[in-house]
């Protein structure tokens, strides 16, 4: 649940993310605007893992995770964080590549690297949609 005031100040979820990272981006912007987030540990959510992207380990899941992960950091990381982001993302890319190669998931591997490319080259907007 989100107050109208918050939505008017920080905007809606950024459509550039489509799936994956959209809620992280939104929560980051809410906190940056000075609001607090509340966690209710007793709440229960039933979630079909990666159902909207074709299932866990699908090419679509790997594409969107790679693209949006990079897009999130491009949008929010500050200059001094970049060496850590690059090191972490590089290690993650090597690990994911080796895992997909070992499983023979060629389509997912190609989609993953396409997502990395698209995450790097995607044009950033100045603000999120309101």
Residue 111 in domain = yes
Report whether 130 contacts 14 (CB < 8 A): no
Question: How many domains in the chain?
Answer: 1
Residue 126 in domain = no
| Residue 89: domain span | 4-40+54-121
- Per-residue pLDDT reduced to its tens digit, 99-119: 999 999 999 999 999 999 999
- Per-residue pLDDT reduced to its tens digit, 93-102: 999 999 999 9
Model pLDDT, residue 41:
92
Burial (CB count within 10 angstroms: exposed 0-12, middle 13-18, buried 19+), residue 34: exposed
Model pLDDT, residue 52:
66
Predicted TM-score of the model (pTM): 0.86
């Amino acid at each position: 649940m989100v107050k109208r005031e918050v939505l008017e100040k920080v905007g809606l979820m950024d459509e550039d993310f489509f799936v994956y990272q959209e809620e992280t981006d939104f929560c980051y912007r809410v906190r940056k605007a000075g609001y607090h987030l509340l966690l209710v540990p007793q709440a229960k959510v039933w979630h079909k893992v990666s159902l909207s992207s074709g299932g866990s380990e699908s090419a679509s899941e790997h594409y969107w995770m790679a693209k949006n992960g990079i897009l999130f950091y491009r949008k929010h990381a500050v200059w001094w964080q970049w060496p850590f982001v690059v090191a972490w993302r590089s290690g993650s890319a090597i690990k994911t590549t080796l895992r997909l190669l070992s499983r023979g998931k060629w389509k997912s591997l190609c989609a993953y690297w396409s997502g990395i490319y698209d995450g790097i080259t995607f044009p950033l907007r100045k603000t999120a949609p309101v």
